[in-house]
Amino acid sequence: MCGIVGYIGYEQAAPLLLSSLEKLEYRGYDSAGVCLNDGENLVVKKAKGQLKVLKELTNDGKTLKGTVGIGHTRWATHGEPSDVNAHPHLSDSERFAVVHNGIIENYIQLKEHLSAKGVAFRSKTDTEVIAQLIEYYYKGNLVDTVIKVLSKLEGSYALGVISKDNPDEIIAVRKESPLIIGLGENENYIASDVTAILAKTRKIYRLENNEIAIIKRDGVKVVDTDKEEIAKEVEIVNWDISAAEKGGYEHFMFKEIMEQPKAIRDTVAPRIKDGRVVLDEIKLTDEQLKGFNKINILACGSAYHVGVVAKYVFEKVLRKPVEVDLASEFRYRDPIIDDKTLTVVISQSGETADTKEAMKEAQRRGSHVISIVNVVGSAIATESDDVIYTWAGPEIAVATTKAYSTQLAVIYLMAIYFGDKLGTISGEDYQMYISELEQLPEKITKILENKENIQYLASQNFNSRDVFFIGRNIDYALSLEGSLKLKEISYIHSEAYAAGELKHGTISLIEQGTLVIALATHEALLGKIISNIEEVQTRGANVIGVACENHPEISNVTQSTIFLPQTCDMLLPSLAVIPLQLFAYYVASLKGCDIDKPRNLAKSVTVE
């Protein structure tokens, strides 16, 4: 959600800023802009719509001069998408410019105070308040002024600030919203995501809360709000740059679907040694684990759907009760949670605002938190008690695929590891789970090799108006993700239902030609899901089944069936999600949708 970039060096900044902003398009945005210090003034160019509009307006940045600048892609929270509301925002006299990710919760009071002092506002955003406050309090020292302004702000923010009076520096600040500093030779960068600057440098600082970076061409100094210098450790980003590029694929989403065997292998293989699951990265003791009487899972979106799968897996393997909460609701229901509760937090970015705040609430109540995160050094990763990284690599498409799959893989590892510690898993089952887990990448590859069959099914159904996903037990958990994938990138109305609930109202929505995707991988409930399929068939539904290859009889009650390699019940979601991802992708492609950047959505939701 929103993207910040900044550059100071000896090259012309505008082309670099625009190129970096392109790398952040996946985060979701509705407008974009840049501001350059041309040596005399701050020059701003911004435009509603896609980045290409801004590039055309500036001839790919060639019409803008200056070697210091900031840029931004905006996802509207305050004020409708427009040229005026786009970032960067200037102060009244145009001496200061600001880009901002996050939300200023008390901006109305601040705006009213400044307006009473005669300050004229141009936009309807909360961000402009920051630029106006900087000018209002400025006494000649920009760092002192920024610190003063921070004391007035309530909310979350990552800020990039430049000044007409300070042409040789950028000020960067972080509180609750991610921001990194890129370190180069006689040039330095700021960005909200490492992908923005990966082509320029692999050396970064990760700013922590309430840290302020003073960035010049020849160095970076980081201080706290008392101006005490903070020693920062340089992090070397070891991603292959091709991982953040399409590499010949038409869309990032398709590339990331195809990368799932490798991503799962990278997540699982280093954690299985001599036939045993080893989770050396967590500090949780056996005594602590045995003392927990409940597990609570907190997540949003697709990560929440991983949590629903985890509920079935953990309860079956660990024999402990599990609650799964939408993180956005958790804090507001006065949850019953204490030091006898293990909390598992799931987030791809590690910066998801609702999830982060829910985690803090669990910690305040004494719960031990293990996070499952993809981005190293992110807020959730650093603030949780333990973290298990998924090692999926950069995921650019807004609709998650490989992050979801690697999160599932970590859930399996945790179930096997904890089950062994608790004595709730037999030696025979332990070895069977390990064997099946190691074979997952190969079995997923087999499904991907038959992707043309799924493409054909998409071509027969991409004009569907409504689609319903049904399943029982762990298949229901998976149907939630299948439905979300389809609706978020194809804009087709789609819902997921527990198949046993059909007769309790849902079946009234089935009419002639309605597409129903029936997940029938859970062998113990195969007979029941077949009955549910027959129920919708008799009411005119067109049914696509998803089942294991050892149950060909499912074809007797479906119009089409996608067959999966066999594996144990616990791991079936990792196989069954692949055709659902491919189906959603092909449907969206046939409809001509913007697959990597679906409308109104953002990759990293860093505000509530």
Residue of 23, 46, 597, 603 with catalytic role: 603
CB 47 within 8 A of CB 54: yes
Q: Cα 217 from chain centroid?
A: 32
Question: What is the per-residue burial (b if ≥16 Cβ within 10 Å, else e) of 198-212?
Answer: bebbbebbbbbeebb
Report the DSSP pairing between strands 180-183 and 188-191: antiparallel
- Is 548 an active-site residue? no
| Distance spanning both ends of the chain, measured CA to CA | 11
3-class DSSP assignment, residue 76: coil
3-state percent helix, strand, coil for the chain, nearest multiple of 5: 40, 25, 35
The structure tokens listed for 41 are 């003034």
Distance (Å, whole) CA 244 – CA 236: 16
Residue of 2, 300, 548, 593 with catalytic role: 2
3-class DSSP assignment, residue 467: strand
Distance (Å, whole) CA 127 – CA 123: 9
- Is 2 an active-site residue? yes
Q: What angle do CA 252, 544, 509 make, to 5 degrees?
A: 100
Helix (H) or strand (E) holding 57: helix 51-57
Q: At what angle do helices 260-268 and 427-449 cross, to 10 degrees?
A: 160
Residue where the block lists tokens 């967590």: 282
The DSSP secondary structure of 385-432, one letter per residue, reads SEEEE-------SSS-SHHHHHHHHHHHHHHHHHHHHHT-S-HHHHHH
Q: Which amino acid is at 525?
A: L
Distance (Å, whole) CA 142 – CA 366: 41
The structure tokens listed for 277 are 């699951």
Q: What are phi and psi of 413, to 5 degrees?
A: -60, -45
Q: Residue 194's closest CA among 324, 343, 349?
A: 349
Distance (Å, whole) CA 481 – CA 501: 18
Give just the sign of the alpha carbon dihedral 101, 227, 133, 97. negative
Q: Residue 444's closest CA among 596, 579, 321?
A: 579
Those residues with Cβ within 8 angstroms of residue 212's Cβ, 6 or more apart along the chain or in another chain: 143, 146, 147, 150, 171, 172, 173, 222, 223, 224, 225
The structure tokens listed for 589 are 């492609």
Burial of 558 (0-12, 13-18, 19+ CB in 10 A): buried
Distance (Å, whole) CA 57 – CA 512: 50
Report the DSSP pairing between strands 89-90 and 68-74: unpaired
The structure tokens listed for 156 are 């979350």
CB 239 within 8 A of CB 31: no
Q: Which residues pair with 46 in a beta bridge?
A: 33
Give the catalytic positions in this structure.
Answer: 2, 603
